[in-house]
Amino acid sequence: MSDLPRKAVARTAKLAALPLGFAGRSAWGLGKRLGGYSADLVGHELQQRTAEQLFEILGELKGGAMKFGQALSVFESALPDEVAGPYRATLTKLQEAAPPMPAATVHAVLRDGLGADWHTLFDTFDDHPAAAASIGQVHRAVWHDGRTVAVKVQYPGAGDALISDLTQLGRFARLLGPLIPGMDIKPLLTELRERVTEELDYALEAEAQHTYAEEFAGDPDVLIPAVVHHVDNILITEWLPGRPLSEVISDGTPAERHRAGQLLARFLFSGTARTGLLHADPHPGNFRLVPDDETDPAGWQLGVMDFGTVDRLPEGLPPTIGTVLRNMLDGEADSAYALLREEDFIKENIDLDPDAVRDYLLPIIEPASVDEFTFSREWMRTQAGRIADPRSPAHQLGRQLNLPPAYLLIHRVTLSTIGVLCQLGATVRMREEMETWVPGFATGPEEDEDACARKTTVTTDKRKTPCPDAATEPARQETSA
């Protein structure tokens, strides 16, 4: 299919095939079980067939359907290998590409947005898209000043398609729940729909990307393309070179995987502290590894793009997050419990054992408890299975916890990033990044001073350093990267 299907009836018919297919597969599974096959084996086969149909349809439709598929794709590491293996390649396609929009349609959008003489703004323009995603596609071009640029063109009718798809998917979210164990699909769809307007507004995206690009200019670890020009439905930025993260996931060396994982963790925590914005779309299609020396990944940068979905956190991450995690790791269950209740993670009418809450959280926060942690699909599957199993104490306790709206996007971004780290199989110094960038996680003056020193090594002399106390000004002097 070469264009975004815009008629609601056509898109609805395709999406409606998903629950119908699920019902048919359930009947098939019942027959298999009656025929003597084990429930686990049949469950895996059902999961695999559902996933194959889901990602095939979502990738074809683009719009909100594909956006949902991209959000799900980072969690494939939670699935058993015998289920995830056969369709991992399909997930990679969702992260990197989709059927292209015809050149004539692209030219019409450019003409409407940039004027009849739009072609004079470019020395060259490649009609074949370099990448295509949920609401737009990217073309490589050379701007009139000689810079190689990425021209992001929004699909006509993308807004209607986004809203229609996410509404339709929400109607049978419960049926898709078993696809990713331990994950509640409905809040994910709700949150994606709430952000539709922001993502369609390329002016907002340009503003967010400009903020990041300015803050990270000259950074040794993170590379953000500068914004060149934008109108309502066209965004032009400097071209981001490098190797797609999906390729590193599929065939990267251990050194490349570890470097990518460390930089992802650093970007997750430092980006918000330094910009007041949380990049909220961390699927692999939005990242590149940019080599300095091709033979030595230790000096490679993480290239980041697509700032259409951001959370505005001018004060940085809420300090409750870091304080609760630190209290849990230090065995201070009562203090952590009190903070969780204060922030409404535990409702007033719910009474839980603080030590049981700590036991529930400790396996999840294990990466922050050691100097280095190796993320893996096996670890992710263990956590997902522990929380998803209705018979487990963890599942019963988890059902009594609440996720306040202010933390919903932070939670999803963190989980998505962890999903990518597990896909990479990266060994990451997570605790070091959290001590440096997460308010409340470093404890005591010695730890705070060490964290401040680490911050100054990655900031330039024009940037603020978010160290804890203005009275310690000599210790806060910023150095040039």
pLDDT in tens, 343-365: 999 998 999 999 999 999 999 99
Read off the pTM.
Answer: 0.76
- Tokens in use for 121? 């703004």
pLDDT exceeds 90 at position 75: no
- Distance between CA atoms of 144 and 134, rounded to whole angstroms? 28
pLDDT exceeds 80 at position 163: no
pLDDT exceeds 50 at position 481: no
| Residues 324 and 339 sit within 8 Å (Cβ to Cβ) | yes
Mean pLDDT across 155-172: 70
Confidence bin at 13 (pLDDT 50/70/90): low
Which three-class secondary structure state does DSSP give residue 236? strand
> CA distances (Å), 417 to each of 197, 233, 437, in order?
24, 28, 16
Residue that wins the pLDDT comparison between 24 and 88? 88
Q: Residue written as tokens 């995206």?
A: 205
Give the rounded percent of residues in the chain with a pLDDT score beyond 90.
46
Residue that wins the pLDDT comparison between 21 and 15? 15
- Distance between CA atoms of 306 and 9, rounded to whole angstroms? 30
Best mean pLDDT range from 38-42, 117-121, 391-395: 117-121
pLDDT of residue 367: 96
pLDDT of residue 24: 42
Strand ranges (E), 172-256:
222-223, 227-231, 234-238, 243-244
pLDDT of residue 88: 54
Confidence bin at 102 (pLDDT 50/70/90): confident
Query: What does the mean pLDDT of the chain come to?
Result: 78
Mean pLDDT across 193-205: 81
Confidence bin at 385 (pLDDT 50/70/90): confident
Q: Which amino acid does the sequence have at 125? A: F
Mean pLDDT across 444-470: 48
* Torsion 297-298-299-300 (CA) sign: positive
Indicate the DSSP class of residue 284: G
* Torsion 23-24-26-30 (CA) sign: positive
- Distance between CA atoms of 337 and 328, rounded to whole angstroms? 9
Indicate the DSSP class of residue 204: H
Environment class of residue 427 by beta-carbon count within 10 Å: exposed (0-12), middle (13-18) or buried (19+)? middle
Mean pLDDT across 224-232: 96
Mean pLDDT across 330-353: 94
pLDDT exceeds 90 at position 435: yes
The 10s digit of each residue's pLDDT in 231-279 is 989 999 999 999 999 899 989 999 999 999 999 999 999 999 999 999 9
pLDDT exceeds 90 at position 313: yes
Mean pLDDT across 218-234: 96
pLDDT of residue 445: 45
End-to-end CA distance of the chain: 48
| Alpha-carbon dihedral 410, 412, 414, 418, rounded to 10 degrees | 180
| Alpha-carbon dihedral 194, 197, 203, 204, rounded to 10 degrees | -10
Mean pLDDT across 174-191: 60
pLDDT exceeds 60 at position 91: no
Residue that wins the pLDDT comparison between 422 and 471? 422
The 10s digit of each residue's pLDDT in 44-67 is 454 556 566 665 565 555 555 555
pLDDT exceeds 60 at position 82: no
Give the rounded percent of residues in the chain with a pLDDT score beyond 70.
64
pLDDT of residue 325: 96
The 10s digit of each residue's pLDDT in 120-154 is 999 999 999 998 766 788 999 999 999 999 999 99
C-beta neighbour count of 115 within 10 angstroms: 12
Which three-class secondary structure state does DSSP give residue 151? strand
C-beta neighbour count of 134 within 10 angstroms: 31
Is the backbone of residue 344 left (phi > 0), alpha (psi -120 to 50) or beta? left
Confidence bin at 431 (pLDDT 50/70/90): very high
Mean pLDDT across 453-474: 45
